Structure 1
Amino acid sequence: MDDKADRIDKTTTNSSSDVGQAEIGNVVSFTEDKIGDRNVITSILSPNGNEVFINSDVDEAMKLALKAKEIELTPEEDKKLVRKIDLCMFPLMCLLYAIQFMDKTTNGNAAVMGLRTDLHMHGTQYSWVGSSFYFGYLGGLFILPPLMQKSKYLIKTLATIVILWGLVLALHAAPSVNYASFIFLRCLLGFLESAITPAFTIITAQYWKQEEQFLRICIWFGFNGFGGVWGSAMAYGLFTKGSTYSIAPWKVLFITTGCITIFVGFLIGIHLPDSPDKAWFLTEREKLLLVQRIRGNQQGFGNHHIKKHQIKEAFIDPRTWLYFLFSFANNIPNGGLTNFMSILFSEDFNYSTKDTLLINMVPAAVEWVGVPLFGYLSYLCFTKKIRFLDSRLVWSFFAIAIVFVGTCMLAFAQKNKHARLGGVFIQYLAPVAFICTLASVSANTIGYTKKWTVSSINLIGYAVGNLVGPRTFDQKPYTGAKIAMVVCYGACLVILAALYVLNYRENIRRDKAAMETKQPEIENIEFADLTDFENPHFRYVL
């Protein structure tokens, strides 16, 4: 370990009176009075055979884990608890994720409602509107995720950010806004919205089991589709009644969506707890049961100290860069379509403005229904123990294969309008595979600092892909953009296959090493804030 705070002299491991180490037979136990110190508890061999020192700078779930020692979680209590968490956490999470998608894509609907004309855009200026959001998003990933990790008030911090981005969104309609200030506001909006996906990825890991996380992420991410339907429906209503407003309908759209965001930001801050141990809807016993149910994740609620050795590990983990490359390739098409979908329907398919706003709801509905469906099929196969199909990576591969076919239809079926239109709709199954990377970061990256770091690097790939995407639409009739999408989805298939092989082979290697190496039995090691490289009991979810 390179971090000075984690450099421990090997000889101190023998002094249990100094380090809070309790010996029970040959079992090493954490002692409650030492939780929060940085003294050595014991050491363990990593899957690579390196000695890893375990100190008292542990996960926040450890305090509850010590109290939950004698509690047994029954299947009935488990079902009741997860149902309660779903009902109390999930509705607002899904609503907020729908709103963030509606907010960032409002400019797409506004573009066909007079935005480009009123701000005197010409040439490639509108494509820079799409890219500017992700310039800000990229900058936010270097500031907001570390800020949220350090904060003990994760939800309060997130709620403040949501309220601020609602204010910024409403300001898009200010009378003084011109092209330059509009670009600045898009950058600022992207900066603030960069907080939500890494925060939701962490929250999902705190409350749900590894095998439950992919379905949950599919559901809250799938609400992007609901946000798309909602935004297009509002835009259609405002456009058809545009003559009754004293300002341009596209400005009313920005003001309306901004006010909705501010309201939901306040709800988030009031309703959602900052961490599971502060959850108002859980009794003290249920909090202990929650620790027991997530024990198999080999991770808990988090640790607010930034650990340099975990950051270093994130950068040398090949999975980090596979996530990055996948998110980059997967989101080049996404960046183009989210900003140019309305224009594509209007100019490439020759729909009127009213018809364009209506038909925009169809691909959004495909995402809203299709993405959770793939998550459910994956979870169903897992519960039924259907080999090979119980893998989220396999279902993600299927989804991208379907999207690849749809992209070929859009790019090459030039004489068949209906085939091209079907190809556009199929594109909106692509988030299934991006969700798989989010779920993999949630379930397969342990060590709280490492998780935040890998999540940020993954989303940098997402931001850069979305930044590049609108630039592929610089030239009409957008043939280059369509071919770029085909190439990107082909690359995604290769990366998903590589990730599956890497995790599968590593699990086999760890199983073999576990049979050959006897490890000390350490109670509550799941909550020691070890990384997946350090924890010999951890196996990667496929």
Structure 2
Amino acid sequence: MSSRSISNDSKKIDTSSDKDQDITTGEVITSFISPLNNTKDIEKNADEALTLALANQDRHIELDPKATKRLIRKVDFCILPMIGILYACQFMDKITHSYAAVMGLKIDLGMKGDMYAWTATIFWLGYLIFEFPASYMLQKFPLSKMTSIFIFIWGVILCLHAVPNYAGFLTLRFLLGVFESSISPAMVILTSQWYPKELHFQRTCFWFACNGIGIMMGGAIAYGCAINAESYPFEAWKLLFIVTGLMTIVLSFLFALHIPDTPAKAWFLSSDEKLLIVEIIRNNQQGFGNKHFKKYQFIETMKDPLTWMYFWFALISNIPNGSLTNFGSILLSEDFGYDAKSSLLMNMPCGAVEFVGCISISMLAYKIKRTFVSMFAMVLALLASCLLAFPENNNNARLAGYYLEYIFPLSMMCALSLIASNTAGHTKKITTTAIYFIGLCTGNLIGPQTFTGAPYTGGKIVIVACNVITLIIIIMTYFYYKYLNKKKQENLAKMSEEELKAFENTEFADLTDRENPNFKYSL
């Protein structure tokens, strides 16, 4: 790549208009009405990356493949381990009550009928209710600091799960959902801030697949608590919640100290490296983020068909997730016939399948489009769900299906990476992500209610049906992206040189993917 300089004659966006921006017109040209000639204009209308770029516009930074690769490795080393550990812990915290259920939680709190299922459902109800407020707070306040506060509070709440009654436990599950609602949206923002879009899928796969590590960590801690249960002055399942909660509290301080709010504030980057990051993400046609909520971007998000494709994908694909996350250990105990301690151990391979399997299959995206990888993963998950649901007297086949079903999160990883890559405009990205997670919450709300008594045949058939529908949605999304890219190419060909010039150096103007004619959707 050649060196790039950033001109201060970039234009600002008129956010007062609520007019829907249509990629089939060139009307957005008229929104570039005045220069970004002062800090106030930049702060309000443009992306935070533009402030850094304009402050160093006289410096010519050479960006070559070796420098890019070296800097990405440094970012990987400093950022990925921490967010991977965080994601592992949040999933461990989320499913701890599944382990506790086979350690005596249900008996000690007098759970009967669907009372346990409601402890799973109410978590996602809290997640659902707070998704939009959490996403707004992530935009309004420093990303790392706000996320750390959420982590700390949910760690305290997890410790308090060692309660003596069902009503208190139910309340705490709701509050845990409220404060965990910020984490996945924060990870999506971090991924889009730090990496070029061609790496979004692999990096999303890494941190999301760390859910598998969370499964293994939780199972190991639960098993350790269970085998020494007689030596504790209180129930072993209570110790499980206290230990995992304290781990999360410690992690909240580490995250706040280690992860910068934006690359511009990175303690581990030199001033030249910060400018290199700006250049690396320039081709994303996005930036670091803008703290001002823009009404027109919110309206555009609600009108965009892609938003609702993401929503329905999240809802349908997470019905199986809600089922297996909350009933995995119970399924192994009540359906497969393992005792309580053995079911804790037998659930751990699920984590290994998710972590190793998903990351390994994601490597195919270096050779083929990520949407094709997602389709392949869903085909595998569909076959696995059929093995789980239909062989009646073959425990080995059903167990293989149960384990292989944990390949299905790869399709969710693809969806999150597509949101990071293909949704531009910070308010639009925040809103799209929130709507995706509302769909995710709804699916996870429904999932536990489909498992109503061993051998849970109805719930298993629902998983099969959901996998079929999810595969269809992925295929539809792929063809819609192709259609949008074709329309953008046609519109660019019709634009005059003057119109094209108006869009020079607008990568950091906080334009949406629909507004920016140079934006190309990644497949």
2:488 aligned with 1:520: no
Q: Does 1:541 align with 2:517?
A: no
In structure 2, relative to structure 1, the CA distance for the partners of 1:402 and 1:39 (3 Å cut) is closer
- 1-structure distance, mates of 2:516, 2:50: 16
> Shift of the alpha carbon at 1:374?
2.0
What pairs with 1:130-149 in structure 2 (closer than 5 Å)?
Answer: 130-149=120-139
Asked if the contact 2:139–2:291 (Cα under 8 Å) also holds between the matched residues in 1, the reply is: yes
Other structure's SS at 1:520 match: helix
What is the TM-score with the length of structure 1 in the denominator? 0.89
Deviates more, 1:186-195 or 1:476-485: 476-485
- Cα-to-partner distance string for 1:92-140 (whole Å, 9 max, x where unaligned): 1000000000001000000000000000000110000110110010012
Aligned positions of 1:498-517 closer than 5 A: 498-517=476-495
Correspondence 1:428 to 2:400: no
Which residue does 2:448 correspond to in 1?
470
Question: 2:153 — aligned with what?
Answer: 164
CA offsets 1:390-412 (integer angstroms, 9 cap, x no match): 21111000000110011111111
Report whether the alignment pairs 1:51 with 2:22: no
**Partner residue of 2:118?**
128
Counterpart residue identity of residue 161, structure 1: F
Match of 1:260 in 2: 247
Q: In the aligned structure 1, how far is the partner of 2:15 from the partner of 2:225?
A: 62
2:53 aligned counterpart, secondary structure: helix
The residue number in structure 2 matching 1:361 is 348
Kindly indicate whether the alpha-carbon contact (under 8 Å) linking 2:6 and 2:505 is maintained by their aligned counterparts in 1.
Answer: no
1:297 aligns with 2:306: no
Unaligned stretches of 5+ residues in structure 2: 37-44
Aligned to 2:41: none
Where do 1:226-237 residues align within 5 Å?
A: 226-237=213-224
Q: How many Å apart are 1:39 and its aligned residue?
A: 9.7
- Cα deviation, 1:509-541, whole Å, max 9, x if unaligned, reads 211222222233243211110001100001110
Task: Letter of the 1:333 partner, please give it.
Answer: P
Q: Is the 8 A contact 1:201 1:438 kept in 2?
A: yes
2:326–2:448 CA contact under 8 A, matched in 1? yes
- 8 Å contact 2:24–2:487 — kept in the other structure? no
What is the distance in 1 between the residues matched to 2:23 and 2:222?
A: 54
AA matched with 1:198:
P
* 1: CA distance, partners of 2:67 / 2:249: 37
> What residue identity is the alignment partner of 2:500?
P
Map of 2:337 onto structure 1:
350
**Helix, strand or coil at the partner of 2:414:** helix
Cα distance in 2, alignment partners of residues 311 and 221 from structure 1? 27
5 Å matches for 1:66-77? 66=54, 67-68=56-57, 70-77=60-67
Runs of 4+ in structure 1 over 3 Å off: 27-32, 37-40
* Aligned partner letter, 2:89: I
2:167 to 167, 180, 187: 180
| AA at the equivalent of 1:408 | C
Take 2:361 and 2:491, find their aligned partners in 1: how far apart are those partners? 34
Match of 2:83 in 1: 93
Q: Which of 72, 81, 88 is equivalent to 2:71?
A: 81
Aligned counterparts of 2:15 and 2:272: Cα–Cα separation in 1: 30
Structure 1 position 319 matched with structure 2 position 306: yes
Amino acid at match of 2:110: H
Other structure's SS at 2:132 match = coil
Change (3 A) 1:475 1:353: closer
Alignment of 1:27-66 (within 5 A): 29-31=7-9, 47-52=23-28, 53-54=31-32, 56=36, 57-66=45-54
Secondary structure of 2:101's match? helix
Hey, what's the Cα distance between the residues in 1 that align with 2:490 and 2:223? 60
Tell me how far 1:476 sits from its aligned partner. Answer: 3.0
Q: Within the alignment, does 1:239 sit opposite 2:226 as a pair?
A: yes
Residue in 2 aligned with 1:18? none
1:29 CA displacement: 4.8
Say if 1:335 and 1:465, in contact at 8 Å, map to a contact too.
yes
TM alignment of 1:485-504, pairs within 5 A: 485-504=463-482
Give the number of equivalent residue pairs.
Answer: 498
CA distance in 2, matches of 1:39, 1:29: 22
Displacement of 1:338 after TM fit? 0.6
- Distance in 1 of aligned mates of 2:80 and 2:296: 34
Is 2:100 the partner of 1:110? yes
Match of residue 431 from structure 2 = 453
Describe the SS at the equivalent of 1:351.
coil
Which residue of 492, 499, 512 maps to 1:531? 512
CA distance in 2 between partners of 1:314 and 1:513 (Å): 21
**Is 1:484–2:435 an aligned residue pair?**
no
Which stretch shifts more, 473-482 or 356-365?
473-482
Match of 1:9?
none
Once superposed, what is the RMSD of the aligned Cα atoms? 1.8
Q: Per the alignment, in what secondary structure is the counterpart of residue 202 of structure 1?
A: helix
Shift in Å, 1:354: 1.4
Q: Distance in 1 between matches of 2:364 and 2:7?
A: 40
Task: Spell out, residue by residue over 1:448-469, the C-alpha distance to the aligned partner (whole angstroms, 9 max, x if none).
Answer: 0000000000000000000100
Partners of 1:477 and 1:375 in 2: CA distance = 33
Deviation at 1:142, TM superposition (A): 2.1
Contact conserved, 2:334 with 2:454, CA < 8 A, in 1? no
Check the 8 A contact 1:29/1:523 in 2, yes or no. no
Q: 1:72, CA displacement in angstroms? A: 2.1
1:46–1:535 contact (8 Å) kept in structure 2: no
**Offset from partner CA, 1:322-341 (integer Å, 9 cap, x none):** 11101111100100111101
Please give the alpha-carbon distance, in whole angstroms, between the structure 1 residues aligned to 2:22 and 2:336. Answer: 57
2:386 and 2:15 map into 1 onto residues whose CA distance is: 58
Aligned to 1:10: none
2:131–2:182 Cα contact (<8 Å) kept: yes
- Going from structure 1 to structure 2, the CA distance change for 1:28 and 1:432 (only over 3 Å counts) comes to closer
Distance in 1 separating the partners of 2:105 and 2:15: 60
Secondary structure in structure 1 of the residue aligned to 2:275? helix
Residue identity (%): 45
2:362 matched to 1:375? yes
Distance 1:46 1:537, change over 3 A: farther
Distance 1:262 1:138 in 2: 23
**1:250 counterpart = 2:237:** yes
SS in 2 for 1:142: helix
Query: Contact between 2:6 and 2:53, CA under 8 Å: does it hold in 1?
Result: no
**Residues of 2 paired with 1:475 and 1:113: CA distance?**
19
Secondary structure, in 3 states, of the residue corresponding to 1:61? helix
Partner Cα distance (1:290, 1:425) in 2: 39
Displacement of 1:46 in angstroms is 6.2
